[in-house]
């Protein structure tokens, strides 16, 4: 369930203000972004330009609303009774790592309240500030959009180098992560690259789950609403055959593969 931000304490402050996060929207009792029931904070701004982006309204780093971190913690506490043992707060986007230092503060405060933290990221950045954030991240959801760097450039406009390096760093810490893969016909469904993707991660010990997310057109109207050209507007969702092929290839090498 999404709710508007008009009732949230907001401020017209500089984007670098340490006490505020720039967010697009919130989702309460979410079930698609991490384990259990979760409050999902969709932050604003992203450096990727994925051709299939489902939230193009989050791309602009100057958009969204500035909300105090304490306000978000208060909101999470109000939902705490619904989280149970598995649930908690997930930060998604947009790209959360653009606000990494402020998210570290947010996650520390959530931990002080006994609330589980989850980070959904494309892994665009891999530095000491990101590593500090990951120390306070109970579960990392990492979107590895393509294993082939040329195709990754076509798909997102940037390299996959940092994403793969961040996956390796998380593996070195021994802390859990889930990997995500958006299955887009003609873009990410090539059999040889699905095989390469699975083989690349098959020896990872911290990877608890792999989620295959079939492409859909539910975000098309958002592109139209903000006046952006949507190059995949005529593309259909992957067929059952394509989905099964991807599932079978991943499952041959990886445990706990899930189709979302």
Which pLDDT tens digits describe the chain residue by residue (260 residues)? 444 444 444 444 344 567 999 999 999 988 999 999 999 999 999 989 999 888 888 888 889 999 999 999 999 999 999 999 999 999 999 999 999 999 999 999 999 999 999 999 999 999 999 999 999 999 999 999 999 999 999 999 999 999 999 999 999 999 999 999 999 999 999 999 999 999 999 999 999 999 999 999 877 778 888 888 888 888 999 999 999 999 999 999 999 999 99
Q: How far, in Å, CA of 6 to CA of 173, rounded?
A: 40
CB 68 within 8 A of CB 9: yes
Q: Which tokens sit at 85?
A: 């043992």
CB 152 within 8 A of CB 145: yes
pLDDT, residue 230, reads: 87
Q: How far, in Å, CA of 56 to CA of 222, rounded?
A: 7
Class of the CATH-defined domain 18-259: alpha beta
pLDDT, residue 4, reads: 43
Q: How far, in Å, CA of 149 to CA of 1, rounded?
A: 36
CB 211 within 8 A of CB 34: no
Q: How far, in Å, CA of 181 to CA of 22, rounded?
A: 26
Angle at 216 between CA 214 and CA 220, to 5 degrees: 150
């Amino acid at each position: 369930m999404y709710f508007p931000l008009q009732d949230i304490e907001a401020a017209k402050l500089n984007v670098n203000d340490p006490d505020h996060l720039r967010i697009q929207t919130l989702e309460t009792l979410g079930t698609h972004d991490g384990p259990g029931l979760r409050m999902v904070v969709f932050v604003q701004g992203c450096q990727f330009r994925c051709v299939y982006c489902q939230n193009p309204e989050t791309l602009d780093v100057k958009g969204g609303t500035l909300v105090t971190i304490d306000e978000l913690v208060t909101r999470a506490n109000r939902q705490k009774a619904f989280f149970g043992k598995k649930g908690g707060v997930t930060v998604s986007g947009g790209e959360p790592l653009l606000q990494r230092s402020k998210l570290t503060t947010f996650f520390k405060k959530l931990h002080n309240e006994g609330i589980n933290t989850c980070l959904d990221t494309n892994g665009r950045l891999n530095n000491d500030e990101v590593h500090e954030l990951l120390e306070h991240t109970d579960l990392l959801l990492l979107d590895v959009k393509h294993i082939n760097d040329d195709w990754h450039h076509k798909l997102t406009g940037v390299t996959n180098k940092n994403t793969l390096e961040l996956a390796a760093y998380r593996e070195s810490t021994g802390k859990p992560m889930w990997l995500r893969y958006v299955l887009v016909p003609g873009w990410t469904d090539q059999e040889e690259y699905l095989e390469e993707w699975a083989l690349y991660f098959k020896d990872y010990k911290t990877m608890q789950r792999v989620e295959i997310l079939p492409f859909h057109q539910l975000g098309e109207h958002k592109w139209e609403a903000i006046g952006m050209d949507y190059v995949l507007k005529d593309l259909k969702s992957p067929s059952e055959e394509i989905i099964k092929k991807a599932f079978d290839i991943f499952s041959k090498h990886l445990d706990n593969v899930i189709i979302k």
